[in-house]
Amino acid sequence: LKELNRLKDEIIAVCSHDLRAPLQVLLGHGRLLLESTITAEQKQSIEAIIRQGRKILGLVESLLEKGKGEAARLSIEPRRLDMAVLCKESTHELNILAAQRGVTLRAEAPESLMLIGDEVKLHEVLQNLITNAIHHAKDSGRVTVRALRLTRPDGDAVKITVQDDGSGIPPDELHLVFDRYRHGPKGTGLGLAICKEFVELHGGEIWAESPPEGGCIFVFTLPMAQEAPRKPQTVVKEEPVQPRVLVVEDEAEIAAVLAEVLRSRYRVEVARDGQEGLARARTMRPELVVMDVFLPKLDGLEATVALKSSSDTAHIPVILLSAHQGVAEKVRALNLGAVDYMSKPFNAMELLNRTERALKAASSEREVERPSAVTLRSGSDPGTNLYDKRGLMAKLEVEVAKVRRYHRPMSVAVLRPERPQADVPRGVADVLRKRLRPQDAVAHMGSGVFCVMLPECDAESARNVIQRLLPELQTSSGLAYQPAVADVSQDSDPVDRILDKLGAPLVS
């Protein structure tokens, strides 16, 4: 059975790559055409091509989703997205179906409603609810999709309602509509059960209402993204030099789309296989590498390991692209040193946002490591320039709340030396800083004890990462280190209690 499962996963990976790649080319060139100077008629035709391409992509995603099994299907790939835009797009995509049934379909939404979520799964929720409403509306009836912001004590939320003017559902049968094993009135079926699963995966709620005036309203809420306070922008007198980005992609059409999108902000060079990409990265020292996983001669994962193993290129952030969307693949890529992992086909704006985020994170990391820095930030250990106890606790409180809310893995490891150390173990600090990813957080807790925070890592993956580091830690310090690891997303205890269980010294 294990071998059959492995073969199934391999087939899914190959199909993912072979089916998504041509769609990415079509959709990418379609979006580029929309940004060029075209007539109204040409724009209408191109928009139709993009809509149909997205529908085909949706079918591909649905087929692949069904083949992944329950555990993989009930996971999310979170990113920042605009729910107001998604509501409008989903409504627009179903206008033809509504017109065929003589139903008026419209969306009411503000300019923007930002949240963290899985766009594919939330798009499927909206498609299911709107399609269901169209089928149950009166002849020449009306379906209205509304999106609004809710202010709540536990944090703002997005509220989405999908209302039809059909015959409605008797109040005593409303509880049946989300039941996977029973059909609600008029055969609402499995789609609503999937909607419930997907909404709850995002920490949201979904329910149905039968208003007195008739019809039915499906309602779901989702927690909104917390906006960081904006910093005042510094006026720059000189035009800054654009960062250099190396694109490593073997398919010429996809490489052309990537280069075209990225050239709007960066200087771009292209390599056609993993070996060429590695050689170019070593010679040109780009500020960022955007690389496919499936490459000839040397795959993207192996190239990433090679880059991170050299002191000359270890600082270069790597974003990996793949048609394989599994969480295990993403975690593996991040463990090997990638700063991000994007699924194909990609959205142009999402790609630009992620590249900008990776470049900013790398720049911040260099600022922290700069030896000439005179003033350490609050919460830093002066002997190692890492987080101290207070800094780590503050960061963990924020990050643990996020991963528990959005059901993402994150592990914490405590490394204790075989005997307490009076002197600051700078060699250990240097190894941890060099070998771990930019998004990982490292703290010196005192007496030679270190604590490591590993986002997007379950406990098993984190143990593997730490075990690989232990020989180098012993070489640099002359001490054997004992690790203790826990997945904090699976533990409901407060942060200080988790660290205490792992053996971290919380009291000086």
Question: What pLDDT was estimated at residue 412?
Answer: 92
How sure is the predictor about 229, in pLDDT bands with cuts at 50, 70 and 90? very low
Place of tokens 């004992």: 482
User: For the chain, what are the domain ranges?
Assistant: 75-225, 244-369, 380-502
Q: Kindly report the CA angle at 34 between 28 and 35, in degrees rounded to 5?
A: 95
Residue 65's alpha-carbon distances to 9, 73, 262, 288, 350, in angstroms, are 11, 6, 30, 31, 22
Amino acid letter, residue 331: V
Strands across the sheet containing 205-209: 104-108, 142-150, 157-164, 216-223, 205-209
Give the pLDDT mean for 142-166. 89
Domain 244-369 has CATH 3.40.50.2300: yes
Question: What pLDDT was estimated at residue 218?
Answer: 95
Residue 132's alpha-carbon distances to 122, 141, 170, 317, 455, in angstroms, are 15, 13, 17, 44, 38
Specify the DSSP class assigned to residue 231. P
Give the per-residue SS3 of 28-46.
HHHHHHHCCCCCHHHHHHH
Q: Which residue has the higher pLDDT, 431 or 64?
A: 431
How sure is the predictor about 71, in pLDDT bands with cuts at 50, 70 and 90? very low
Dig out the tokens for 404 from the structure. Answer: 């528990």
Please tell me whether residue 353 adopts helix, strand or coil conformation: helix
Complete DSSP assignment for 436-457: S-TT-EEEEEETTEEEEEEET-
Place of tokens 């990418």: 28
Residue 163's alpha-carbon distances to 40, 90, 414, in angstroms, are 33, 15, 52
Residue 249's alpha-carbon distances to 112, 296, 309, 357, in angstroms, are 34, 9, 22, 21
* 81-127 confidence digits (pLDDT tens): 889 999 998 898 888 888 888 999 999 999 889 888 888 889 889 99
Give the pLDDT mean for 8-22. 61
Place of tokens 């960022």: 288
Question: What is the average pLDDT score of the chain?
Answer: 79
Dig out the tokens for 211 from the structure. Answer: 């208003």
Who contacts 244 (Cβ-Cβ below 8 Å, separation ≥6)?
266, 267, 268, 269, 284, 285, 286, 287, 288
Domains 75-225 and 244-369 agree in fold: no
Q: How many CA atoms lie within 13 A of 215 on its CB side?
A: 19
Question: What pLDDT was estimated at residue 423?
Answer: 75
Angle, to 10 degrees, between the axis of helix 389-406 and the axis of helix 495-502? 110
* Of 307, 301, 306, 335, residue with least CA distance to 320: 301
Architecture of the structural domain at 75-225:
2-Layer Sandwich (3.30)
DSSP element (H, E) containing 427: helix 426-435
Residue pair 318/334 in contact by the 8 Å Cβ criterion: no
How sure is the predictor about 162, in pLDDT bands with cuts at 50, 70 and 90? very high
Instruction: Kindly calculate the radius of gyration of the chain based on its CA atoms and give it in whole angstroms.
Output: 25
From CA 213, how far away is CA 437, in angstroms rounded? Answer: 57
From CA 262, how far away is CA 247, in angstroms rounded? Answer: 9
- Dihedral angle sign, alpha carbons of residues 271, 274, 279, 285: positive
Residue pair 352/261 in contact by the 8 Å Cβ criterion: yes
Dig out the tokens for 92 from the structure. Answer: 């627009």
Dig out the tokens for 283 from the structure. Answer: 């010679």
Strands across the sheet containing 386-387: 380-381, 386-387, 441-446, 449-455, 410-417, 481-487
Which of the residue ranges 2-6, 97-101, 248-252 would you say has the lowest mean pLDDT?
2-6
* 269-299 confidence digits (pLDDT tens): 999 999 999 999 999 899 999 999 888 888 8
Question: What pLDDT was estimated at residue 62?
Answer: 60
Angle, to 10 degrees, between the axis of helix 119-136 and the axis of helix 190-201? 140
Residue pair 412/502 in contact by the 8 Å Cβ criterion: yes
How sure is the predictor about 207, in pLDDT bands with cuts at 50, 70 and 90? very high
Residue pair 126/160 in contact by the 8 Å Cβ criterion: yes
The CATH H-level (homologous superfamily) assignment of domain 380-502 is Reverse transcriptase/Diguanylate cyclase domain (3.30.70.270)
How sure is the predictor about 237, in pLDDT bands with cuts at 50, 70 and 90? very low
Residue pair 106/91 in contact by the 8 Å Cβ criterion: yes
Share of the chain above pLDDT 90, in %: 20
* 333-391 confidence digits (pLDDT tens): 777 778 888 887 677 777 888 898 888 877 766 554 443 333 334 456 677 778 888 77
Dig out the tokens for 194 from the structure. Answer: 């999937």
